Amino acid sequence: MSEPTKQRHLLQGNEAIVEGALTAGCRFFAGYPITPASEIAEQLSIKLPAVNGTFIQMEDEIASIGAIIGASLAGVKSMTATSGPGFSLMQENLGFACVAEVPCVIVNVMRGGPSTGLPTSPAQGDVQMARWGTHGDHSIVVLAVSTVMDSFTITVKAFNIAEKYRVPVILLSDEVVAHTRECVELPDTSEIKVVDRIRPSVPPDWYKPYEGDARGVAPMAAFGDGYRHHVTGLIHDIMGFPTQKPGEVEEFHLRQTKKITRGFPDIQMTKGYFLDDAETFVIAYGAVARSALRAVQDAREAGIKVGLLQLITLFPFPRRTVAPLLGQCRSVLIPEMNLGQMSREIQRVNQGSCNVVKYNRIDGKFITPREIYGQLIKL
């Protein structure tokens, strides 16, 4: 939409996700339009063909995620984007991507739910679904963006994590971030770290498609590379064939968990503001983190020792950052545009040492700094 000038661009959050995806090397997108995510598909339908990538508008979201899984198995970095109703449909195939360890990025621009809900209103109601929406124990990474610049950098990071750990990554945005235009200076591509999946270094006959390396991640051959292998949604052995042997089943699950656990320092991202001497603090994510930052700055000016921890990685839950702060502060406020989906994670790791206060809004309205400030002064 906007013409590039002096490397500065006025972009919507959704457009910045597109730029991030292209920079990360995404060359395949399959999706179905839905408010408030449609701009992502719209932009990629123009930009992907221009870089020899592929854009497909599918018949629905089930097919969309199926297509990106297929593309990724064929060796192409791929992404889809949707909102709550479409994300619900994607859950079955999302489980397949988890079990078959197919790197891919699924963007969910959250709107009011459940069902068709509130199409044009912001919400953060899909947080627990992003973690646990598909059935069975599984490893998954969930990231949340709060600014247009984030929408660019975290999208690159999402692809990097997906490739490095062979895991689907859910990128949560919301209607506010998606449609806000901000001026951003996009870094030169040479300054950006882009990670590609590790390919097998052994001859095809020796290839064991699901044997983890030291990190627990298996090198990934692309379909057509000559490494004939089997991909299935059934629990499989290191050769990729179904197994029910308890030892192999357990090993499969533990490796999937371990590869993410070992990556915690790399995967778990947070941003802290005014935390050093904080006596109380706010934990927020997505657009709400922006309202919280404003409220915290206002409270600091009024002499209140309050800090802000912004979660970028929601899952795996950044316990190592959160727990010490819960020990340091007497109270924590968790404002969310849902009835308390991240606050339950915080309560889980709290062990009773900190007073956990929720502030929730589910009326389709964005939480304002004034509301958070009003809660802060009562902590």
Partner 1 sequence: MNGQQKTQERYEIRFSGSGGQGLITAAVVFAEAVGVYDGKYVCQTQSYGPEARGGKSKAEVVISSRPIDYPKALELDLLLAMNQAACDAYFYDLKQNGLLVVDSGLVEQHPTSRIIAIPFTDIAKEEIGRKLVANMVALGAVGLLSGQVNLDNLEKALLARVPKGTEEMNSRALQRGIEEARKINLNDLPRSVMSDDYDEV
When binding is defined by CB under 8 A, the residue of 54, 91, 360, 368 that contacts partner 1 is 368
Tokens standing for residue 271:
């941003």
CB of 175 to partner 1, least distance (A): 7
Express the helix, strand and coil content of the chain in percent, nearest 5 each.
40, 20, 40
Cα–Cα distance for residue pair 370/359, rounded to 1 Å: 12
Which of 6/378 has CB closer to partner 1?
Answer: 6
Residue bearing tokens 């499989």: 236
Binding mask 313-352 for partner 1 (x = CB under 8 A): ----------------------------------------
| Binding residues for partner 1 restricted to 196-215, rule: CB under 8 A | none
* AA letter at 120: T
Cα–Cα distance for residue pair 260/161, rounded to 1 Å: 10
Q: Is there binding between residue 175 and partner 1 (CB under 8 A)?
A: yes
CB 222 within 8 A of CB 73: yes
Q: Is there binding between residue 121 and partner 1 (CB under 8 A)?
A: yes
Which of 8/199 has CB closer to partner 1?
Answer: 8
CB of 103 to partner 1, least distance (A): 32
Which of 3/137 has CB closer to partner 1?
Answer: 3
Cα–Cα distance for residue pair 75/71, rounded to 1 Å: 7
Segment lying near partner 1 (by CB under 8 A), choices 59-67, 96-104, 172-180, 312-320: 172-180
Q: Is there binding between residue 366 and partner 1 (CB under 8 A)?
A: yes
When binding is defined by CB under 8 A, the residue of 291, 313, 341, 343 that contacts partner 1 is 291
When binding is defined by CB under 8 A, the residue of 36, 103, 316, 340 that contacts partner 1 is 36
Task: Number of residues interacting with partner 1: please give it, by CB under 8 A.
Answer: 28
Total length of the chain: 379
Cα–Cα distance for residue pair 22/71, rounded to 1 Å: 15
230 by DSSP, 3-state: which?
Answer: coil
Q: Is there binding between residue 297 and partner 1 (CB under 8 A)?
A: yes
Segment lying near partner 1 (by CB under 8 A), choices 24-32, 43-51, 252-260, 366-374: 366-374
CB 208 within 8 A of CB 229: no
Residues 6+ apart with CB under 8 A from 36: 14, 83, 109, 111, 119, 120, 175, 178, 179
Q: Is there binding between residue 179 and partner 1 (CB under 8 A)?
A: yes
Segment lying near partner 1 (by CB under 8 A), choices 133-141, 159-167, 277-285, 364-372: 364-372
Which of 108/291 has CB closer to partner 1?
Answer: 291
**Local structure of residue 208 (DSSP, 8 states):** -
- What are residue 303's phi and psi, to 5 degrees? 90, 10
When binding is defined by CB under 8 A, the residue of 43, 134, 153, 180 that contacts partner 1 is 180
